[in-house]
Amino acid sequence: MRILVTVKHTPDLQSQRSFTDGHVTRSAEDGTMNELDENAVEAALQLVEAAGEGEVYALTVGGPDAVAAVRKALQLGAHHAIHVCDDAIAGSDVFGTAKVIAAAVTKVHEEAPLDLVITGMAALDGLTSMLPTALAAELDWSQLTLASALSVADGEATIERHLPDAHETLSAPLPAVVSVTDEANKPRYPNFKLIMAARKAPVAQWSLTDLGVDAATVGSGAARTSVVDASERPPRENRIKVTDTGDAGTQLADFLIEKGLA
Amino acid sequence: MSTVAVLIDHRDGAVTRPSLEALTLARSLGTPVAVWLGAAPGADATAQLGEYGAAEVRVVDGDNLRLSARAAAAVGAASEDAAVLLMISTFVSKEIATRLALATGAGVVVDAAGAELVDGKVETLQTVFAATWNVRSRIESDKAIVGIRPNTTMAAPAQTPGAATVVDIQVDLPETRERVVAVEAVEQGDGVPLAEAPVVVSGGRGTGGDYGLVGELAELLGGAVGASRDATDEGWISHEHMVGQTGTTVTPALYVACGISGAVHHRGGMQASGTIVSINMDPDAPIFDISDFGVVGNLFDVVPQTIARIKEHRGS
Ligand SMILES: Cc1cc2nc3c(=O)[nH]c(=O)nc-3n(C[C@H](O)[C@H](O)[C@H](O)COP(=O)(O)OP(=O)(O)OC[C@H]3O[C@@H](n4cnc5c(N)ncnc54)[C@H](O)[C@@H]3O)c2cc1C
């Protein structure tokens, strides 16, 4: 079983997140691996452990700091790490990013075939959830998204997914791109031995040239959308906080009635 | 005026309210045409689409339209002439948008709270980072696909109704590798679905699993019941009720949080709501930082009083 997991370097949810020049501000200090990608790494490790053989590749695309994301995946137990880093990638939209990841996946797949690419359900900084679909389409592989359960047997992957209107079971032949939700599993904690090993583990560094991707087709120049303005929302004004001394429920009702909400 | 296609969400043959909101928004961008996947709408639904301005109702029927590659081909065939395509932002529509964008070169913005034409290009408004930032994006490509969040435009009938001419679109849908093995419909309660509800009353760990009061207040206010992840994990209430970054994102006019601490994951799914009200025993709970009206108290004391007062007010 050979699985590649995509991981993204994103600002820590608890940090002050912001925009600079129309892009999410990223820095080494408060950056981390996208929390939801932990579920993707976990899903890959569990499949390899269950199969009793196999390898997990962690792949990230991003600036120099993004290497922290694949190091985190190594700490969790991934066997190999790849960091695609090229100035020309900066400012890519989801389609540019998918093109770069697809090229890197293809490079690994050509060395020895992969069974699966597993991604998180969304990146908690952008949350568009579009990348898995874009990647599957670029690769022309099967697409199984939002899995809350995933199994592989007889050359097929099967997932369950919970949509607001229906619970679905979908199957598709390998190789497949699968995105897993945070309900798919409980990510493990890194163990000390792996943390130490991850520090020294090699991380393959690939550029667009290594991948044969034309720089003009990615990056901000090729992006179909651009941020024209980003501003911090002002905090809510005139907030009221009361401590219940017996009539707070009534005060709350009066507040709603006065606002025309009840 | 250019054609603006709107992918209509429908349930049991009826047009959902977010679709009416999207049609309303579409009228400010051009001439709306409705795109309807599945068996053709009945007379009532067609008439309603006309009332909200749809010049045409383009129907594409076929098997397995739940698979995004097939749905994307269907929507693509029905919106070829449209410079702008609006959909309701859901996990499924985002996949359709992605496939269609790759096929057509369109630019996509999802989870938008609004869209307008500026110098002939579509600009969208979004809130990001758990609704702490406003972002305006511009779609540079000739074709724009925008996923709109429910409750961000006030639905209103058109001054001059559209003709709502029903047009059958024939298209060969692509074979897919993915197979639908089973689909089990989720029981939809009588109330409004969470994502569309104008009012959401949510209960968290603080309910201890008792959703009686939360449900009663939701019903009184004409809203839907939400929950935190901890509550759905406990099995107190089904997953469909979960509000948050990995659950449903809601933007109702009123959000009531009962016994919810306000973790960043939860806030990300509700912080853009109009008015936020919370009841929590812990004066330091982070939910108070984003509440217009916060009550430090026990929800089992506070909520019954609130319900009684509202009933009394309505009775008078
Ligand atoms: C990857 C990831 C994704 C996640 N996604 C989501 C998500 O989408 N949505 C989500 O909600 N969570 C999500 N979570 C979980 C989230 O981090 C919090 O753990 C969760 O929201 C907490 O739920 P809670 O507020 O009900 O419980 P708690 O944090 O335990 O808070 C319960 C609150 O109830 C109060 N309380 C107790 N009794 C009473 C009473 N009688 N009256 C009034 N107040 C009372 C307490 O003071 C406390 O503040 C996610 C977590 C992870 C790691």
Q: What CATH number does the domain containing A16 carry?
A: 3.40.50.620
What number is the ipTM of this complex? Answer: 0.89
Q: In whole angstroms, what is the distance from residue A54 CA to residue B198 CA?
A: 50
pLDDT at B246 over 90: no
CB B87 within 8 A of CB B7: yes
Residue A244 in domain: no
Cα–Cα dist B47/B54, whole Å? 9
User: Would an 8 Å CB–CB cutoff place B38 in contact with chain A?
Assistant: no
CA distance, residue A196 to nearest chain B CA (Å): 30
The alpha carbons of chain B give a radius of gyration, in whole angstroms, of: 21
CA distance B267 to B287: 8
Tokens read off for B262: 């306000």
Q: Whose CA is nearest to atom 39 of ligand 1?
A: B206
Per-residue confidence (pLDDT) for residue A12, from 0 to 100:
67
Residue B228 near residue B200 (C-beta atoms within 8 A): no
Lowest mean pLDDT among A231-235, B23-27, B77-81, B204-208: A231-235
Task: Give the pLDDT score at B245.
Answer: 84
Which H or E element spans position B313? helix B299-315
The ligand 1 atom nearest the CA atom of B300:
41
pLDDT tops 80 at residue A159: yes
User: CA separation (Å) from B265 to A71, B130, B240, B246?
Assistant: 24, 8, 16, 8
Identify the H or E element spanning A136.
Answer: helix A131-139
> Domain B3-168, what architecture?
3-Layer(aba) Sandwich (3.40)
Q: How far is CA B240 from the centre of its chain?
A: 13
A21 within a domain of the structure (yes/no): yes
**Separation of B63 CA from ligand 1 center, angstroms?**
41
Distance from residue B206's CA to the centre of ligand 1 (Å): 8
- pTM (predicted TM-score): 0.90
pLDDT band at A235 (very low <50, low <70, confident <90, very high): confident
Tokens 């930032």 label which residue?
B133
Per-residue DSSP letters for A108-127? HHHHS--SEEEEES--TTT-
The CA distance from B123 to B115, in Å, is 6
Please state, as a whole number, how many other Cβ atoms lie within 10 Å of the Cβ of residue A134: 27
Closest-CA residue to B75 (of B34, B45, B114, B108): B34
Domain ranges within chain B, ordered by starting residue: 3-168, 194-315
Residues 216-275 of B with CB under 8 A from A: 220-221, 239-240, 245-246, 248, 253-254, 264-265, 268, 275
* Domain-located, residue A119: yes
Is residue A150 included in any domain, yes or no? yes
| Token pair for B19 | 């679709």
Burial class (CB in 10 A: 0-12, 13-18, 19+), B44: exposed
Domain assignment of residue A230, yes or no: no
- CATH code of domain B194-315: 3.40.50.1220
Question: What is the pairing mode between strands B133-139 and A225-232?
Answer: antiparallel
Task: Please report, in angstroms and rounded to a whole number, the separation of the first and last CA atoms in chain B.
Answer: 50
pLDDT of residue B191: 74
Range of the domain at A21: 2-222
Q: Phi, psi (5° rounding) for residue A80?
A: -135, 150
pLDDT in tens, A186-225: 999 998 999 999 999 999 999 999 999 999 999 999 999 9
Structural domain contains residue A227 = no
B114 exposure class (CB count in 10 Å sphere: 0-12, 13-18, 19+): middle
Whether residue A175 has a cis bond before it, omega within 30° of 0: yes
Using pLDDT thresholds of 50, 70 and 90, give the confidence band for residue B302: very high
Listed in sequence order, the DSSP H helices in B13-54 are 17-27, 43-51
Contacts of B264 in chain A (CB under 8 A): 13-14
Q: Is residue A203 part of a domain?
A: yes
B56-107 tens-digit pLDDT: 999 999 999 989 999 999 999 999 999 999 999 988 999 999 999 999 999 9
Residue at A258 is within a domain? no
CA distance B13 to A34: 40
- Scanning every residue of chain B, which has its alpha carbon at the shortest distance from the alpha carbon of A241? B294
The first and second tokens of residue B203, run together, are: 């209960």
Measured by CA distance, the residue closest to atom 22 of ligand 1 is B230
Q: Is the predicted pLDDT of residue A28 greater than 80, yes or no?
A: no
Q: How far, in Å, CA of A240 to CA of B298, rounded?
A: 17
**Least confident interval from A65-79, A142-156, B186-200:** B186-200
How many structural domains compose chain A? 1
Residue B127: closest CA among chain A residues belongs to which residue?
A233
Q: Is it the case that residue A14 has pLDDT exceeding 80?
A: no
Please name the member of B123, B132, B183 whose beta carbon is closest to the beta carbon of A228. Answer: B123
